[in-house]
Amino acid sequence: MNAAALARHRALIREEALRMGFSHVGFSQAGFLEEEAPRLERWLSGNMHGKMAYMERWFDKRLDPRLLVEGAKSVVSLLYNYFPEKHQPDQVPAISKYAYGTDYHIVIKEKLQALMLHIREHIGEVGGRVFVDSAPVLDRAWAKRSGLGWVGKNSNLIHPKSGSFYFIAELILDLELGQDPPMKDYCGSCTRCIDACPTEAIVAPQVVDGSKCISYFTIELREAIPDKARGTYSDWVFGCDICQDVCPWNRFAIPHNEPRFNSIDEKRLSRSAGEWMEITEDVFRMQFGDSALMRAGLNKIRENVAFISGTGERSAE
């Protein structure tokens, strides 16, 4: 492909993605993630994935997108802002900001599919797949390689102009799109995220022991939360934002403009512990059926509420 055509294709994809509401777009050449391979192997061998057995599967595919898309030549990485204008009130069971509104899988996948259609309509028969945290793709590694930021000590991708409250998505295409330059790491000597983590899950810069993370305890773990975690975190019942909230780069975060990421009503974010314990399954499904909270489910959230209230099941671990 000549340089003019490559530049034209890049511009077409970038412009349409930004029009759809994505904040940043970057391009990288599809290939094996050599730097990530030993890191992933050490993370898994250290059992830092806890009970998340699915992380052990598809090791090779996680490291090489060419095993996911035949003939893959490029990875298009996209960031979609989810930083809310309105936050939860204090003194209520806390929900991670990414789960305030409609499940991001639904919202972003629709946009990615529309972007793929746009590419095929204006460039031609392009093969590829869309991904948004739903397949063995190391999204932060690809976003970093695509020049969209650096991976901070809390393992989140950080953009210097707007922080880290982003969903990361990808198009893996059999279309040559070139390679954007990487971005410098600007974390410096700052350790605020490491110091603030109440369960000491950030065991080294850019290394999070998932088995100690509050998000793991409140969403992924399907058995009693280890009693040693009791009292270490205050009010989180779905996810956790602590390591992002304390990050100095998030002083640049601005509210998103995606209506579906807003809570459908104030009650959704201000439900008290007692109200969570009293809600019925039917009401939960009616109010949160399109929400990321469905991943945990009502019973798990109730268990989390009981845990932070000091009345939950105790584990010997």
Q: What is the pLDDT of residue 312?
A: 55
Place of tokens 């777009």: 25
Please say if the pLDDT value at position 268 is more than 90.
Answer: no
| Residue 243 banded pLDDT, cuts 50, 70, 90 | very high
Please say if the pLDDT value at position 165 is more than 60.
Answer: yes
Please say if the pLDDT value at position 317 is more than 70.
Answer: no
d(CA 266, CA 275): 14
HEC sequence for the chain: CCHHHHHHHHHHHHHHHHHCCCCEEEEEECCCCCCHHHHHHHHHHCCCCCCCHHHHCCHHHHHCHHHCCCCCCEEEEEEEECCCCCCCCCCCCEECHHHCCECHHHHHHHHHHHHHHHHHHHCCCCCEEEECCCCCCCHHHHHHHCCCCEECCCCCEEECCCECCEEEEEEEECCCCCCCCCCCCCCCCCCHHHHHCCCCCEEECCEECHHHCHHHHHHHCCCCCCHHHCCCCCCEEECCCHHHHCCHHHHHCCCCCCHHHCCCCCHHHHCCHHHHHHCCHHHHHHHHCCEHHHHCCHHHHHHHHHHHCCCCCCCCC
Please say if the pLDDT value at position 2 is more than 50.
Answer: yes
What would the pLDDT profile of 166-223 be if each residue is shown by its tens digit? 999 999 999 999 999 999 999 999 999 999 999 999 999 999 999 999 999 999 998 8
Q: What is the pLDDT of residue 90?
A: 85
Told to judge if 133 belongs to the known catalytic residues of this protein, a careful annotator would answer: yes
Q: One of 60, 103, 133, 180 is an active-site residue; which one?
A: 133
What would the pLDDT profile of 32-89 be if each residue is shown by its tens digit? 999 999 998 998 889 888 788 777 777 888 999 999 999 999 999 999 999 999 999 8
Residue 231 vs residue 67, higher pLDDT: 67
Please say if the pLDDT value at position 316 is more than 60.
Answer: no
| Residue 231 banded pLDDT, cuts 50, 70, 90 | confident
Q: How distant, in Å, are the alpha carbons of 98, 158, 251, 261 from that of 103?
A: 8, 22, 25, 8
Q: What is the pLDDT of residue 232?
A: 86
Please say if the pLDDT value at position 115 is more than 80.
Answer: yes
State the first-to-last Cα distance of the chain, in angstroms, to the nearest integer: 58
Please say if the pLDDT value at position 259 is more than 90.
Answer: yes
Please say if the pLDDT value at position 311 is more than 80.
Answer: no
Whole-number percent of the chain with pLDDT over 70: 97
